[in-house]
Every structure is written in structure tokens, then in C-alpha cells.
Amino acid sequence: MTDLEAELRKAVRGEVGFDVTSRALTTMDASNYRRVPLGVVAPRDADDVAAVLEVCRARGVPVVARGGGTSIAGQATGVGVVLDFTRHMNRLLEIDPDARTAVVQPGLVLDRLQDAAAPHGLRFGPDPSTHSRCTLGGMIGNNSCGSHSVAWGTTADSVRELAVVTARGERLRLGQGWAGAPDGLRGLVEGDLARLRTGFPELPRRISGYALDALLPEKGADVARSFCGSEGTLGVLTEAVVRLVEAPRARALAVLAYADESAAAEAAAGLLPYGPLTVEGMAADLVASAAVLPRGGAWLFVETGGESEAEARARAEAIVRAAGVVDSLVVTDPGGQRALWRIREDASGTATRMPDGSEAWPGWEDCAVPPERLGAYLRDFRGLLSAHGLRGTPYGHFGDGCIHVRIDFDLMTQKGIARFRRFSEELAEVVVAHGGSLSGEHGDGQARAELLPKMYGEELVALFERAKGVWDPDDLLNPGMLVRPAPLDSNLRFSVLPREPVDVAFGYPADGGDFSAAVRRCVGVAKCRTTSVSGSAVMCPSFRATGAEEHSTRGRARLLHEMLAGEVVTDGWRSTEVRDALDLCLSCKGCRSDCPVGVDMATYKAEFLHHHYEGRRRPAAHYSMGWLPVWLRAVARTRTAPLANLLAAVRPFAWAAKRLGGIAPEREIPRLATGTFSRWWGRRAKSVGGSGDGGGVGDLVVLWPDTFTEHLSPAVGQAAVRVLEAAGLRVALPPTLRLPRSRGVADGRSAFLNPLALVHGRGRVCCGLTYVSTGQLDRARTVLRRTLDLMAPVLATDAPVVVLEPSCAAALRTDLPELLHDDPRAHRLADRVLTFAEALERLAPHWTPPRMDRPAAGQTHCHQHAVLGDAADRRLRAAAGLSGELSGGCCGLAGNFGFEKGHFEVSAACAEEQLLPAVRAAGEGAVVLADGFSCRTQLGQLAGVRGRHLAEVLAEALEGDGHEGTGGRRA
């Protein structure tokens, strides 16, 4: 322990972290920059903040205040002590509906304030796209804005009073007037009134520099407003009184389509007289799928409010008539509006990848110009990009003239970095020529502070330095930001990464096979730190259970980045810090779909475990559950399932088995089926004379006998066969071995088409899921290659492969081709995989399922949400009269995760977030759906509820209607 750490531990009541993990998690924000701090302190109150400042001032150690860590210009990074306000100083202290004010601590997440204000018909005006994880302290530090700034302004417009501790320990209460200001600030202002009156451009999104003009006498000497946007360089915020605004009772969203970006930009300023709540713009090159948008090449998202839906719609339609659009869409349904806004909000992440998959970075994220000059500025901006051979996709707050953009800078080579600097200097001149601000929302940080003289001139920047000296004479707070800045091309976070690709097992096709590039996907926007999810979203269940940064997708990506860098995490793949952070990753794959940049932490975890345990003894759970297919096949061959179930029911035997297998003692060992699905199939095939087609005459489908269906839930497979055949399809199982010609079989393909002949044998297909999830990738590749050999007869036909277990289907679609990326058969099999609902929809489009007209509850499997999609399932449920939405999130069992020792508490917390409440709230007659074996097991063990696969529910309904085996009801 260093002397600094020891002193801090004595001085504060909050947590002090100088360990590898704490430091690695805070080396970066959402910018291009990286600094390694000495340590992190999570203060409990203002006294702790003052104590930290006193200790650090005595030792000359810088202090950086950090909220959600989503700053885009580098101002949330530092080399000294980082203050993390999200752990303790994160409360809403008071809300006064009559005065329309709230008292907040700096670590309070914006959405929590919005949730508390909503019952009173109020809200906080500014709402950045990171509203689910950005903090009020961070918003005040950066003077954040968001999409509603055309109506409600910036954060500075919503601040009433600020409680601040200065670097020298003064506790100030800032407001309007000089009463709470530090000594010397008034004299500085009154000595340079002319410069303050003429040196600042007038535009709605001028965020760059210090807002010293707010201190002018004609503006009421608003010290609190002047403090906003100071990026933690003047004082440390400990409390704020903020203004709330009245929320419209109803809203409408008009999506206005234009031919191109320039047309949309030119039109934006003309819509402001109509009093919209938002005027947001984005072009087609940022939208992955424009199917839900009106036809056009660019769009404005214009929101209107009213006392009623009709009034809001009328205002939106008036704007449509005045907008000169090529097409338009007006939506009043809140769900439809949320879906459209998600397209815009995810842009900060999706913009980090160009359409061809190449990387793009911030740095010129949010310049702003007068709204009436936006069209001309964008044309000049596009021209400058072209001149430098760069690409970027502008989007953002068109109504305020503020543009966000990620640009495909090469920040890995000296040549690329030099071009980054030249472009930055030239673009600053273009922005200033249009009367703009280098920052229109996210602050200057390191990205732009060096260029502030181009905007303000040397003399006004010198005045900024004098102001900094009044507040912080020792330059203790966030040095290198705003004044005396570090060069914009130094401290780049990519400079520490290896220049040669790391030897890895997965193919990482979207990242050119480069694991470093895969880890670089995480740009820090921190959507994974959202404390609640809506709809079918999943990411990141472990963070929501623990609230700890190291259990978020971003936190784990940061640790992997530092592992590759080798400066903070020094033992590479053997790192215990990375291992421990990944330990609570459920491998739910939610980040693969919910993360705007497609981080796939489940794959990164499997990769890490593969290397971490290479040549070493693994945890017992890796052998007991990683090799589950082997143990279950052994039980099936020896027909000892009844004995195994008997022993598992005897407490001493169960205790011993769980202890030896690394299984959580709180868990019950699932019962094994006394007869496997394949044996049932064999007996059934014999009973129908060996044809095995159950009377179907339609397309052939291959039903995958996954480990869970085969040994634990054969009833699911049996039900699926009945439904698929009722829909008129012919069902076969994959071959288990290749029969010799002497058996009278002409070739492998003929053997495959004779299901009875192929139900026996030692070779079984397997998706390798349990080996992948435990990082046993060599074994997984062996299993998958054998599977491809066995599936050769299937791949010689055009038969699709129907997989009932969502996690196994996801493994075949993604893990298989990524692990065996050099085997074309892997891609062929992956392309054949269909879910149960997809098979019915594509191969039996005219079949109508039995009508049940019952409510449904349960959960969409996390792998289905992330990899497979559930659109076909939704349509099938609707056709069967199963109403209601299934919950999102993760069940928490997640294959082996919830069974592993030490995971039970987190596993149960994940289930309690959405799944269990949804099931408890369901009525008596509700059907509880859970297609995954893990989900069904979690429901049974934690809630005593039997969940069923959709195939089981449909099969039961078919039997009730007397339609089993008859082709079902056809349209």
C-alpha cells in the first residue's frame, strides 16, 4: 500500500481502490484518450470529497471528478485520483413539485430523476442519448444538452444552485450573484468587461471554453451558470438544485424525409418558429435498416407536444405541411415513438462502424454552428472529409446547428495520427468561419482545448487561464483540460495496444480476425450500465444485479484492453483480475445485439478462459458441466438415469456430487429423462414401418437432437415432431454414423433419408455449447468437426436444420462458423439453422396453428433475442391466440452459470428483475412460455412454476382439437 492510499483510507469513509481492477476500469472514458490513474475513491459525502482534496493537495496529486464515464473528449480521465460519484453520492435528495425544482447529488443518473419527476407531470429538460446512465454531475460538468434543447435549452439553463468544494477546501454555494463566488472572480470579470461582451459567439450550442460571459452584470452575474461546462477543472460538485419543466401530456413524433442530408439541414432552422420539442437529423448512411422510416435519404425527427394526442398530432401535421418533405410519418403511439427514437439514440454507437465495418472514432463529435448556417457548414465539412480521404456520418441536433460525427481516423499509425491533427486544425477553422463553437455539447476536454485560441483568440484564452487560477490556484483539478491542455494527438488509447494480431481461437470475422480490434469495439458509451431495461432488451444482467463497473460489458472490455496493453494488467491471459470480472458474465450474448457497437462479451469470455486455463487445471464446474454431453450420453448408454435420479434425491449423495462438481449448494440437480428423445424416435419410426415421416408429405426438415432435448426434456422434441408433422413437414434426425454399403445402403445421403437405420450408433451431433461457454475451445473444435462429418449427408441436401434449444441454435449460427472459420461446411450448416417458429413460417406458410386465445407470460430466451431474433415466434404466438409480451432480460441460470458455485445470488437476482415478476403477475389461465431449458429450470427451482416450450403448448392444443397427425388446420 502506498502512503497516498494509506492516507486516503484513513481520511475517507468511502471506498478507496488502488488495486489493478479499480485503476484499469477508469483509464478511459468514451473518447480516444487514455490515462492511468493512481487510484479511485468513491466518496460517501461532501466531507469525503473535502478530505480527498486535502490529502491530494498536500501531495500535489491531481483529482478528477467522474460521473458515468461517458465523456467523449477525454475529460473523465486522469493520472491522479479519480472520484467516482456513482456508488454513494447518487441520490435524489428532494423534489418540490410546486417550485418545480429538485435537489440532486452528482452521481444521480438522469433517468432516475425523470422517473421521480414524471408522477408530478414534470421532467428535467436536457436529455442526452445516454440518459439511462449519464449522471447529473457529468451533465453539469459538460453542460450537456440532448435532443430537447430547442425547447428546454442546455443543462446550464436548468441549474439554480450548486454546492461546490474548491481545490483548497472552500465550500461554496453558487447561484446568481457574487455572494458564493471565490475571492478574485468578480475583480477578474470587472477588469475585462469589454472582452467578455464581444468575445463569445451567440448561438444556442456554444459549450466551448469557460462561460465567463454569464458573469456579466447584465446577465445577473450567474456564477452557477458560469460553473457549468467547466469539466471538473474549477471545483468539485457535491449537490445541485435544478429546475424542472412541465412535461407535455401528449406527444407526437413527425419523421420528415428529405432527398439528402443537405436538404434536411437547410429545412431544420425553418421549423423552429413552430415551437417543436426536437429537431433531430440523421442520414441514410447511419441507418442499418430504414424499413420503419419514410422513404428518403435523410430524416428530421420532430417532436411536438400538446394537452391531448389530437393537439400534439395537429401540431406535428402542421409542421409536415410546412416542411417541404418527400415523405413523412406521424406517430402518436408511445411504443412506436420509442422504437423510432432508439434508432437515433443508438447512433452514438452505430456511428463507430462504417457501412463496410471499418472503425470510426470521436474527436470532432459535436461542433455547432448557427442553425441557419448548418446546410452550408455540412457541405464544407463533407468537402474537408473528402480532401483528407476520410469518411464520417453526421447526425444530431439539426435544430440547434449541432452535429455529431464519428470519423474513420487511423489512430494506430504515425501517419494516420498526423492526418488526424491536420484535419482537426483545419476543421476548427471551418467551424469558426461559420460562427460556430468547437464543442456544441460534450465539452472540449483534450480533443479540442488545444484549438480554443482559433475560436476565442489568445487573449480570451489567457483570461480562461486566469479564471482557472482564481478557482484552483494549485492546478489540482483535472489539469490539462480547457487551459494549458495536452496536445490533442497525445495520450491516445490505441497507442498501447499490440501492433500485431494476437493469436486467438475464434475467427472474429467482423474485426478482420483481430482480437484487439474486437476489444476496441467498446467505445465507452456505456449502454450496458443501464440500471433497467425495457421491452425484450437483455444487456447487461450482471451489472444490474451488482451495480459494479467491472460487471458491465464496458468494464470487462476495459480490463481486456488493459490486458492487451500490459501496463496496468501485467500478466496477460493469466490475469486473475480479468478472470474475476468475467466470472459473473452470464454469456447471455445480450451485448451482441443491445450494445450499439456489437461487443460480444460471451465470445471474449470464452476466448479468455481458453487461454487462461491452457495447460492448467480448470475449475470443477468446467469438467462437470462443460463435459455435460459426455456424462449424459454415458448415463443414456448404461441406462442408469433412474439410479442417477435416485441418488440425486438423497441429500448426502447430492451434497457430495455438488461439492465435487463445483455446483452451487443452493441448486437442485435436474432430473434426467429415463428415455432419450432419440430412443423415442427409434421406437416411433419402427411403429410406422420404418419411414419415420409420420405421414407428412411436405418438405423435409432435420430436427436437431440437442443435449437438453435428448437427455433432459425429450417431451419438447416429441411435441415438436407432432407439430411439424401436423404442419405437413417430414421430420428426420441427423445421422449418427455412416452405414457401410454391405448394409444395403447406397450412400450416405440414402442412409440419412432412412431415419430408422440411423437412430443407433456412437457418434452424435453436438453444437459444442457447453465447451464454448467454459472456454474449452480445443475440445469444442473437435466436437464441431466431428459434427460436421456426421452432418455431411444432410449438407448434401437442401434440408433445413430445426433446433429447439435457443442456446444451441445460437451456437450453431455464430460460434460454429467463428470457431471453424476455415471450414466452409461450418458456414453451410450455420446457414441451415432455423428455430422452431422460423421452420413453420418458412416451410409451412399456409398452416394455421390451433387457436388457444389465452394470455402468455414468460421470457424471450436471451440468445434468441441476441442472435436468432424472435419475430417469427411473435407471429406464431399471435396466430395461435397467445396474447401478451414476453419479458426481456435474462433468466439468470444461463446454462452452467447459475449452477456454478458462488453464482446463485446473482443468478437469482437476474431472475427477479423481470422473469419472475412477469410470471407472478400472470393470470391463472396464462401459458408460461420458456423455450430454453435453463429458463424452465430457473422457473421451476425459484418459483415452482412449470414453463413450457412453445412446441409443447401447440402440440397439446393440437391434441385437444383432435388434429394430431392430420396436418393440422390449414388456411
In this structure, what is the dihedral angle of CA atoms 85, 91, 96, 102, given to the nearest 10 degrees?
20
At 146, which amino acid appears?
A: G
Q: For the beta carbon of residue 465, count every other beta carbon within 10 angstroms.
A: 13
pLDDT tops 50 at residue 741: no
Q: What is the residue-wise DSSP string for 556-602?
A: HHHHHHHHHH-SSS-SGGG-HHHHHHHHT-----HHHHHSTT---HH
pLDDT at 344 (0 to 100): 74
Number of helices and strands in the chain (H, E):
45, 27
End-to-end CA distance of the chain: 74
Task: Choose among 595, 521, 589: nearest CA to 561.
Answer: 521
What phi and psi, each to the nearest 5 degrees, are found at residue 740? -70, 160
At 522, which amino acid appears?
A: C
Tell me the per-residue pLDDT of 418-433, one tens digit each, with 9 for 90 and over.
999 999 999 999 999 9
Distance CA 320, CA 945 (A): 51
Provide mean pLDDT across the span 292-296: 89
For residue 359, what pLDDT band results from cuts at 50, 70 and 90? confident
Task: Choose among 49, 48, 54, 51: nearest CA to 65.
Answer: 49
Find the angle CA(593)-CA(813)-CA(702) to the nearest 5 degrees: 135
Distance CA 707, CA 696 (A): 26
Distance CA 620, CA 617 (A): 9
Tell me the angle at which helices 553-565 and 576-583 cross, rounded to the nearest 10 degrees: 160
Distance CA 520, CA 948 (A): 40
Burial classification of residue 573, based on how many CB atoms lie within 10 Å of its CB (0-12 exposed, 13-18 middle, 19 or more buried): middle
Bridge partners of 820? none
Tell me the per-residue pLDDT of 464-512, one tens digit each, with 9 for 90 and over.
999 999 999 999 999 999 999 999 999 999 999 998 999 999 999 999 9
Tell me the angle at which helices 950-961 and 836-843 cross, rounded to the nearest 10 degrees: 50
* CB-based contact 969:935 (threshold 8 Å): no
Fold of 250-442: Alpha-Beta Plaits (3.30.70)
DSSP assignment, residue 866?
A: I
pLDDT at 161 (0 to 100): 98
Q: Please give the distance of CA 935 from its chain centroid, rounded to a whole number.
A: 22
For residue 350, what pLDDT band results from cuts at 50, 70 and 90? low
Kindly report the CATH number that applies to the domain delimited by 3-84.
3.30.43.10
Using left for φ > 0, alpha for ψ between -120 and 50, and beta otherwise, residue 892 falls in left
pLDDT at 737 (0 to 100): 45
For residue 962, what pLDDT band results from cuts at 50, 70 and 90? low
Distance CA 920, CA 414 (A): 59
What is residue 182's three-state secondary structure? coil
Poorest-confidence range of 112-126, 226-240, 620-634, 760-774?
Answer: 760-774
Q: Which helix (H) or strand (E) holds 210?
A: none
Cell numbers placing 132: 439511462
Cell numbers placing 954: 401447440
* CB-based contact 256:321 (threshold 8 Å): no
Cell numbers placing 853: 386465445
Q: For the beta carbon of residue 118, count every other beta carbon within 10 angstroms.
A: 11
For residue 912, what pLDDT band results from cuts at 50, 70 and 90? very high
Tell me the angle at which helices 651-661 and 641-648 cross, rounded to the nearest 10 degrees: 100
Bridge partners of 921? none
Distance CA 215, CA 180 (A): 13
In this structure, what is the dihedral angle of CA atoms 793, 799, 800, 805, given to the nearest 10 degrees?
-50
pLDDT at 960 (0 to 100): 77
What phi and psi, each to the nearest 5 degrees, are found at residue 762? -85, -35
Provide mean pLDDT across the span 372-383: 94
What is residue 93's three-state secondary structure? strand
Tally the residues of the chain.
971
Cell numbers placing 935: 429458463
Distance CA 590, CA 570 (A): 29
pLDDT at 289 (0 to 100): 62
pLDDT at 740 (0 to 100): 36
Query: Which positions ≥6 away from 182 have C-beta within 8 Å?
Result: 166, 170, 172, 470, 471
* CB-based contact 355:324 (threshold 8 Å): no
Q: What's the whole-model pTM score?
A: 0.92
What phi and psi, each to the nearest 5 degrees, are found at residue 281? -130, 150
pLDDT at 186 (0 to 100): 97
pLDDT tops 60 at residue 750: no
What phi and psi, each to the nearest 5 degrees, are found at residue 554? -60, -45
pLDDT at 760 (0 to 100): 34
DSSP assignment, residue 211?
A: -
Tell me the per-residue pLDDT of 544-590, one tens digit each, with 9 for 90 and over.
999 999 999 999 999 999 999 999 999 999 999 999 999 999 999 99
**Segments making up each domain of the chain, as ranges:** 3-84, 92-246, 250-442, 515-593+606-613, 621-688+696-745+758-843, 851-961
pLDDT at 284 (0 to 100): 83
Query: Which positions ≥6 away from 371 have C-beta within 8 Å?
Result: 204, 268, 269, 272, 398, 399, 400, 401
Matching residue, cell 459538460: 142
At 757, which amino acid appears?
A: A
Distance CA 693, CA 797 (A): 17
Task: Choose among 716, 932, 893, 654: nearest CA to 811.
Answer: 932
* CB-based contact 900:662 (threshold 8 Å): yes
Distance CA 500, CA 566 (A): 14
Percent share of the chain, pLDDT over 70: 94
Q: Which helix (H) or strand (E) holds 653?
A: helix 651-661
Provide mean pLDDT across the span 732-753: 52
Q: Are strands 882-883 and 854-858 parallel, antiparallel or unpaired?
A: parallel
Kindly report the CATH number that applies to the domain delimited by 92-246.
3.30.465.10
pLDDT at 742 (0 to 100): 33
For residue 1, what pLDDT band results from cuts at 50, 70 and 90? confident
Half-sphere exposure of 165 (CA within 13 A, CB side): 23
Poorest-confidence range of 229-233, 741-745, 823-827, 956-960?
Answer: 741-745
Q: Which helix (H) or strand (E) holds 706?
A: none
Distance CA 873, CA 950 (A): 9
Q: For the beta carbon of residue 746, count every other beta carbon within 10 angstroms.
A: 8
Average pLDDT, whole number, for the chain? 92
pLDDT tops 80 at residue 240: yes
What is residue 933's three-state secondary structure? helix
Q: Which helix (H) or strand (E) holds 27?
A: none
Q: What is the residue-wise DSSP string for 253-268?
A: EEEEEESSHHHHHHHH
Distance CA 135, CA 112 (A): 10
Distance CA 303, CA 319 (A): 10
